[in-house]
Structure 1
Amino acid sequence: MLRFEGSGVSDVGLVRESNEDSAFVAPYVALVADGVGGAAAGEIASATAAYAVAATALQRRGMDPVRVIKDAFTAAGDNVRLGIQRDLNRLGMATTLTVVISDGAAVVLGHIGDSRAYLWREAELRQLTTDHTYVQHMFEDGKLTADERSTHPWRNVVLRSVDGDPDSTGMDITRLDVREGDRLVLCSDGLSDLVSEEQMAGELAAEDPFDASIALANAALEAGGRDNVTVVVLDVVRGPVVSGDGLLLGAVRDPRNIVDVAAVRLA
């Protein structure tokens, strides 16, 4: 059975006053969410989406991961929308979301926004996701070079996110070609904006996933830490079925940040 063994870290950074990132790590699901909106409650958006996705995946372990990701995305959007309806001061809040799920036989990636997923194999790092940003759109249209893309002042303008819009175009969903011994990395742009892929690949040589995640987060802090930084490092392993509730990181650790439609229905 394919599953994950890993860990992660979420740090407020050296500039921001609060952490708007959330992450979750468990044997069959892991995710990173980066709240968008600042004063419009980015931490509420990321924690709410992370909770909805984790809960959906844990309840449906072993089911088709494509279907699980689609249902989890819908649940995340419903809960974010409820959070806005409860407090219109949150109007505009949204979150990125990058999630991997295994049913034991395959691994599927869901992605929206500008958090990222990478595959580290045989000391080489490859980006698995495409940023949903204005700058990436300009790059694909040939209006920016790769170097200009990485330094453009609008590089963090996100075009797609979990924002509660019932007409959302949804996530990019990809079946990953992974094998035992591969290492997956999920991160917010607090890492990818500040640390080169070459340096990331070097830090991922650490044997333990937690040590690797700490090294990557520290690299972002040493590069200025101008944003929250969240990193999840997962080793793809093959073994017997295991259980566990998982590791909560960042804003989702505070239950006051979570809006849950199911809890409202039961009240």
Structure 2
Amino acid sequence: MLDRAEHTTLYSRSAEEGSMLGFAGSGVSEVGLVRVHNEDSGYVGRSVAVVADGVGGAAAGEVASATAVDALVSCWRACWFAAGPPDALEARVAAATDAARAAVRFAVQRDLNRLGMSTTLTVVACDGAQVALGHVGDSRAYRWRDGVLTQLSGDHTYAEQLRRTSRVSAAVLATHPWRKVVLRTLDGDPADAGPDIAVADVRAGDRLLLCTDGLSDLVDDEAIAGTLREGAAAQAVTALVHAALAAGGRDNITCVVLDLVDIDEAEASAASPRGPGLLLGAVRDGANVVSPTHTWNA
């Protein structure tokens, strides 16, 4: 059964008078055909969207992903309503990802049985004029523009490190026994490198995809691009998850598709964007979240 976030239009404040950049998005999380538990979490909000994959094989992966998403969204909302310069987007995303790291660390300290749990994290956040991307691990962010699919995030995996630092062929990388080893995650270690954060090259009319490796490992870029080319965001996420299931569904699958839309202030006001955001996967169960509060209005 699909854990579906219904299609919704989500708007952000604009730095340009009279217009604003907004998200129109949808998300789905599915346990897959092999795993017993869904260790993925996700969120789709007015100004932020995120996917997280509790790393398989580690203790309490669902707690790691849910706790990280909860803390990130709560901090982002606090940062969003705080005063700040118009160039503060990257700093706000950094603060939100720092909150996620601290929350995972706190969760481990509260229960040492969770020692070793970790999560990937891929987040996009919009301030109305631009979009920033934060990323750690092997969950991905893609941009679909004018028929071309581009991966915006870089995998923090052994295979990607080899590709960048050596002349190993694609054929060798495809079968390397360590290719899927994830080199960076959020694991609560205060000494870890943390996420990469940068302003993304996006504009109105682009379509973004955030996904865990349950999709990207089983569905190739050509098939992903073909799916993103057709239909609304809600149709796209459903089709992508079905494609991963048809390919074996051996891992949890979480997808968020966001259309970047340019609207005027009157249209944004009429939309009355005061409703809650959309939860996906493990974070829907409050028992997975190690946090004193929940705030879901970003």
What TM-score do you get using the length of structure 2 for normalisation? 0.84
The equivalent of 1:23 in structure 2 is 42
For residue 163 of structure 1, what is the amino acid of its counterpart? D
1:33-112 equivalence runs, <5 A: 33-38=52-57, 40-61=59-80, 64-112=88-136
Distance 1:54 1:244 in 2: 15
The equivalent of 1:146 in structure 2 is 170
SS at match of 1:60: helix
Answer whether contact 1:81 1:165 (CA < 8 A) is retained.
yes
Please provide the CA RMSD for this pair: 1.6
Task: Give ranges in structure 2 of 5+ residues lacking alignment.
Answer: 1-19
Deviations 1:129-180 (A, max 9, x none): 1100112111212253223333433222111111111122121112112111
Q: Could you tell which deviates more after superposition, 124-133 or 153-162? A: 153-162
**Is 1:114–2:138 an aligned residue pair?**
yes
Distance apart, 1:122 and its partner CA: 1.1
Answer whether contact 1:98 1:110 (CA < 8 A) is retained.
yes
Deviations 1:72-111 (A, max 9, x none): 1111111111111111111110100000001111100000
SS at match of 2:54: strand
1:227-242 equivalence runs, <5 A: 227-239=251-263, 240=265, 241=268, 242=273
Distance 1:121 1:144 in 2: 30
SS at match of 1:36: coil
For residue 178 of structure 1, what is the amino acid of its counterpart? V
For residue 37 of structure 2, what is the amino acid of its counterpart? S
The equivalent of 2:196 in structure 1 is 172
The equivalent of 2:290 in structure 1 is 259
Distance apart, 1:26 and its partner CA: 1.1
The equivalent of 1:13 in structure 2 is 32
Answer whether contact 1:150 1:193 (CA < 8 A) is retained.
no
The equivalent of 2:14 in structure 1 is none
Answer whether contact 2:32 2:249 (CA < 8 A) is retained.
yes
Count of residue correspondences: 263
Q: Could you tell which deviates more after superposition, 36-45 or 87-96? A: 36-45
Answer whether contact 2:58 2:118 (CA < 8 A) is retained.
no
Deviations 1:217-250 (A, max 9, x none): 1111111111101100000012245333210000
Q: Alpha carbons of 1:13 and 1:37: their partners in 2 closer, same or farther (altered >3 Å)?
A: closer
Partner residue of 1:205 out of 201, 224, 229: 229
What TM-score do you get using the length of structure 1 for normalisation? 0.94
Q: Could you tell which deviates more after superposition, 163-172 or 221-230? A: 163-172
Distance 1:148 1:225 in 2: 24
SS at match of 1:190: helix
Deviations 1:179-226 (A, max 9, x none): 111000000001111101000000112221011001011111111111
Answer whether contact 2:67 2:288 (CA < 8 A) is retained.
yes
The equivalent of 1:188 in structure 2 is 212
SS at match of 1:61: helix
Task: Give ranges in structure 1 of 5+ residues lacking alignment.
Answer: none
Distance 1:71 1:136 in 2: 27
**Is 1:216–2:240 an aligned residue pair?**
yes
Answer whether contact 1:37 1:92 (CA < 8 A) is retained.
no
SS at match of 1:131: coil
Distance 1:175 1:100 in 2: 9
Distance apart, 1:37 and its partner CA: 4.7
Answer whether contact 1:78 1:261 (CA < 8 A) is retained.
no
